Amino acid sequence: MKLFKFNGGSRVLFVGAEAAPFARVGGLGSVMDSLSRALREKGCDARVMIPKYLSIEEKWKLDLVQKGVSVPTGNESGETHLVCNVKRFTPKKAGDPVTTYFLENQEYYEKRSNVYGYADDAIRWALLARGVIEFIRAHKEWKPDVIVACDWQAALVLNYLRIEYKKNPQVNGIATVFAIHNLYYQGMFDHRFVQEMDYDDGHSPVPAFENPRLTKINCMRRGIMHADMVTTVSPNYAKEILTADYGELLDGLLRERRNALVGILNGIDYSMWDPKKDPYISYKYDKESLGDRARNKTVLQERFGLERNRNAFVVGIVSRLSKQKGFELLYPIADILMQELPMQLVVVGSGDADLMGFFHGLETKYPGRVAAHLSFDAVLPHVVFAGADVALVPSQFEPCGLVQMEAMRMGAVPVVRRTGGLADSVKDYDPDKGAGTGFVFDKFDSSSVMIALIRAFENFRNKKEWNKLIKRGMSEDFSWEKSAVRYLEVFDRAAKLRERELKKEE
């Protein structure tokens, strides 16, 4: 079997539920796009495959590359096969996404207005998984050396490959990598409350599409079990998930597979996060022209209806508002902070109703000092990070996190909890050594958040040292280039492990 060459020529297929710019809901979509592009720059023939949702062909020109792909459902009667087409986006110019395939099925993808959130999602992702394999078998033009299945929605690709297609010479030599972006989400159920009768040990065959049992299998567990290599999105998170505190009941399995587990820190797209060229900010700047950056604070205040005050301590929050992100820690301390500090708060994001209600209440209580835009917006994060003094990320757990890296790139100093990728990417400020890029706290409690914000404010008052802190953050390298090299190494290991397994089976 051909092993990976760092001078290019390797073929890699990323499979997932979403991929920017075609369909993006969260960080996974951004990573699928950015990582595949970075690998392409390294000479790797990296491609992507996702479902073809309704809105995609309205915006992008696609070509039909495989018609009538027959996908087995496992059903004993009725629809024993589902027929799909595969369409392709082919890049034409610099800056285009990589070659991307779309599994087309009207019933399960094109009739849906959203990517996630349907009662039959288990069937939709099983169809994607098996559809990918059947497409590879039918399509003679291109075949991957490695498949990277991203999160639980794509995990069954690996399960099918190693069980149903184990003896199939067309696909059994393909090496596999399972990419865990968030271990918390494992399937169509709450993995913390599973009855003994419904427990999935991962060894049984994947149920038929019509079988209600399909909604109860733990796809995350199966992806970990059947992959040649397993990756997570930061080195620290790879260590954390080996423990009971962070392992989400899979820590035992992960410890068994620790030799195949690698943590690689996600990157950010520097063409998108470049304050010298950012089309969404009013005043362009770099780390040598922070005076121009300061003008964006006024723009931010005006845009969100805050009092114009260049000396205000502006705290920015850009996030999905969920329990994981830790913003409930602000409940008992928000009033104290607002009353004792010349603080302004800007919030951009949507999520849990109680958190949205909390921030809306603060906005009402502190007009001109708190502003909340409680819906997703692709532009406003640029405005916030270009004008805010700090970016708050107090996560309970954080596999990687992109916000702190995006904020640093734009000159907003991160205030974060020491967990997951936050610990890998933000160095705590040390005034004695003149080192560090942000303010880091350890305990997941309200007092720790308040102390970290007060530390940040006290140092914010020393403009000379604060500007040095900003410059260090802006100088950090979070580009995908380094991460792409690490992924190539993982692919090489996966290919060697697959070759070894095939020899054992001969």
CATH number at residue 358: 3.40.50.2000
Q: What is the mean pLDDT of residues 422-442?
A: 97
CA distance 186 to 465: 44
Say whether 318 sits in a helix, a strand or coil: strand
Q: Predicted confidence band at 4 (pLDDT cuts at 50, 70, 90)?
A: very low
Alpha-carbon gap, residue 439 to 451, rounded angstroms: 10
Is pLDDT at 340 greater than 90 in this prediction?
yes
**Whole-number pLDDT of residue 25:** 85
CA distances for 164 relative to 73, 133, 146, 503, angstroms: 12, 11, 18, 19
The reply to whether 284 falls in a domain is no
Residue 6 pLDDT > 70: no
Do 257 and 306 sit in the same domain of this protein? no
Contact criterion met (CB below 8 Å) for 248 and 184 = yes
Peptide bond into 21 cis (omega under 30): yes
- 251 and 296 share a domain? no
Question: Is 37 within a domain?
Answer: yes
256 lies in the same domain as 313: no
437 near 431, Cβ under 8 Å? no
Of 194, 173, 145, the closest CA to residue 44 belongs to 145
Average pLDDT over residues 126-154: 97
Domain count, the chain: 2
Residue appearing with tokens 């999160």 = 151
Contacts of residue 447, Cβ cutoff 8 Å, sequence gap at least 6: 333
pLDDT at 5 over 70: no
Q: Predicted confidence band at 2 (pLDDT cuts at 50, 70, 90)? A: very low
**Cα 216–183–246 angle (5° rounding)?**
120
- On whether residue 273 sits in a domain, the answer given is no
Query: Are the C-beta atoms of residues 363 and 372 closer than 8 Å to each other?
Result: yes
> Do 79 and 163 fall within a single domain?
yes
Average pLDDT of the segment spanning 225-243: 98
> Is there a single domain that holds both residue 234 and residue 261?
yes
Cα–Cα distances (Å) from 1 to 10, 56, 124, 211, 227, in that order, read 12, 36, 32, 37, 17
Which residue range(s) make up the domain with 423?
Answer: 290-478
Q: How many other C-beta atoms are found inside a 10 Å radius of the C-beta of residue 224?
A: 25
Both 464 and 487 in a single domain? no
Whether 47 maps to a domain, the answer reads: yes
Q: Is residue 5 part of a domain?
A: no
The predicted structure's pLDDT at residue 180: 98
pLDDT, tens only, 296-315 = 999 999 999 999 999 999 99
Q: Which pLDDT belongs to residue 8?
A: 52
Q: What is the mean pLDDT of residues 150-155?
A: 98
Q: Are residues 36 and 140 in the same domain?
A: yes
Average of pLDDT values for 114-140? 96
The SS3 call for residue 495 is helix
The mean pLDDT of the chain is 95
User: What number is the average pLDDT over the span 254-262?
Assistant: 98
Task: Give Rg (Cα) of the chain.
Answer: 24
Q: Are residues 328 and 226 in the same domain?
A: no
- When pLDDT is averaged across residues 260-275 and rounded to a whole number, the result is 95
Asked if residue 409 lies in contact with residue 268, where contact means CB atoms within 8 angstroms, the answer is yes
Longest Cα–Cα distance in the chain: 73
β partners of residue 263: 232
- 122 and 181 share one domain: yes
pLDDT on residue 3: 44
What's the pLDDT tens digit per position in 455-485? Answer: 999 999 999 999 999 999 999 999 999 899 9
Percent residues over pLDDT 70 in the chain? 98
pLDDT number for residue 48:
98
- For residue 8, being part of any structural domain is answered with no
The closest alpha carbon to 44, from 87, 89, 12, belongs to 12
Q: Is residue 121 part of a domain?
A: yes
> What is the per-residue pLDDT across 342-390, written as a single tens digit (0 to 9) for each?
999 999 999 999 999 999 999 999 999 999 999 988 899 999 999 999 9
Give yes or no: residues 346 and 261 share one domain: no
Residue 255's CB: how many other CB atoms inside 10 A?
Answer: 13
Tell whether 326 and 338 lie within a shared domain: yes
Q: What stretch of H or E contains 124? A: helix 121-138
pLDDT band for position 9 (50/70/90)? low
32, 129: one domain = yes
Residue 485 lies in a domain: yes
Q: Alpha-carbon distance 405 to 393, whole Å? A: 11
